[in-house]
Each structure stands twice: as C-alpha cells, then as structure tokens.
Amino acid sequence: MHPALRKHFEELVKLTDAEYEHIAPCYHLKKFKKHSILLQPGDVVNHEYFVLKGLLKTFTIDDSGKEHILQFSMENWWVSDYMALHTNGKSSFIIQCLEDVELLYISFDDRQRLCDELHQFERFCRLKITSGFVSMQKRVMALMKNDAQSRYQQLLEQYPSLFQRVPKAMIAAYLGVSRETLSRLHV
C-alpha cells in the first residue's frame, strides 16, 4: 500500500495490515504530464482517482465558451465524476492536469467489491463522501449568499497554496465571477 494512501485511510478508519494488503493491489499508479486530460464529456467513468502529487481541475465549458470550475484537486484529494461513476453513466465534466500529476486509481468494480468485503472500507467511503457533501453545501451557500469579495477571501483562507499554483482566471472560473470582477477586488 502506498504510504500516503495508507496514512489517508488511517485518519478515518481502523484496518489491519492484512486488510491493507488486500486493498493495496486494487490501486494502480499512473503519471500524467501537465495539460493531460483524464476525463472528457462522453467518456465512460469507471475509476476514482487519489492524487499523490500535482493539481487537477474538474470543469465544464458552456455554449458561449466560458469555463466553469467545479473543483480543484490537489495532494490527498479524491477526484472523479461521481454522478457518472455511480450511475454507470458518461462524464459531463473535463478533468485536466494543471501540473505533472501522480495518481492512484481504483476501478468502480474493485471499489464496490472492497465495500462489500470490508465494512471499514465502506465506512471510509461514507465519511469521505459526507465531507464532500458538506463542502458542496458550503459552496452552494457561498454562491448564493456571499459577494465575490468574501468568496475570494474564504478560498484564500482555506487554500492559500492554490493561489500560488493556478492563474487568476481559473480562480475566477471557480468563484463564478468574471476576470474583470476579480481584478477589481481588493486582493
């Protein structure tokens, strides 16, 4: 088992060494160069990815060509198109590497099998997705309630390192504001 992944599990659940040995072969290492596309609209989604190194963005492009960023994913984050993954459907997002990236990926079938076989593995999945749910709720409330300035401030406080790693235009596409609005903020 990759030590970063094992550490990540150990933060939430108790698994024995034998169980880690059982889980380990389901995760496979893959490296991607900066700008590589992991998923694009229409792709069948059957993997979940754990980021060991690097940064990715999950986004869509609307009819007018404007980019909308759902998520940035950095070290120790999970990424996939979860709607497609759980409905056996096709991706509606683009997932792209913003840096050279190292990932561990697991197939949906292996993930389901591990959920069946190991109660603690299912617990881990439940707790992770619960955190994701709560984050998305916060994001919905921030989009409705907060102006661009406070959304920017909130993101800066939560993920200061992100601002060193991605250009301003992408921060704007994540916050749901125009580049012009962003450049007018007191940042």
Interface ranges with its own copies (CB under 8 A): 60, 62, 68, 70, 82-83, 86, 115, 119, 122-123, 125-126, 129-134, 136-141, 143-145, 176
| Nearest distance, CB of residue 144 and its own copies, angstroms | 4
User: What is the closest distance, in whole angstroms, from the C-beta atom of residue 177 to its own copies in the complex?
Assistant: 9
Specify the 3-state DSSP secondary structure of 63.
coil
- Name the residue nearer to its own copies (CB basis): 37 or 140: 140
* Nearest distance from C-beta of residue 70 to its own copies, angstroms: 6
Distance in Å, CB of 85 to its own copies, minimum: 9
Residue 27 or 121 having the CB closest to its own copies? 121
Taking the C-alpha atoms of residue 73 and residue 54, their distance in angstroms, rounded to an integer, is 8
CA atoms of 103 and 42, how far apart (whole Å)? 22
Residue closer to its own copies, measured from CB, 44 or 141: 141
Least distance to its own copies, CB of residue 33, Å:
27
Contacts (Cβ under 8 Å, ≥6 apart) of 97:
32, 33, 34, 35, 36, 37, 38, 54, 55, 56
Count other C-beta atoms under 10 Å from residue 87's C-beta: 10
Q: Which is nearer to its own copies, 31 or 150 (CB)?
A: 150
Closest CA to 81 of 40, 115, 109: 40
Nearer CB in complex with its own copies: 17/62: 62
**What span, in angstroms and rounded, lies between the C-alpha atoms of 79 and 186?**
32
CB of 82 to its own copies, least distance (A): 6
The dihedral built from the CA positions of residue 55, 146, 59 and 80, taken in this order, carries a sign that is: positive
| Six token digits for residue 90 | 């096709």
Q: Pick between residue 141 and residue 156 the one whose CB is nearest to its own copies.
A: 141
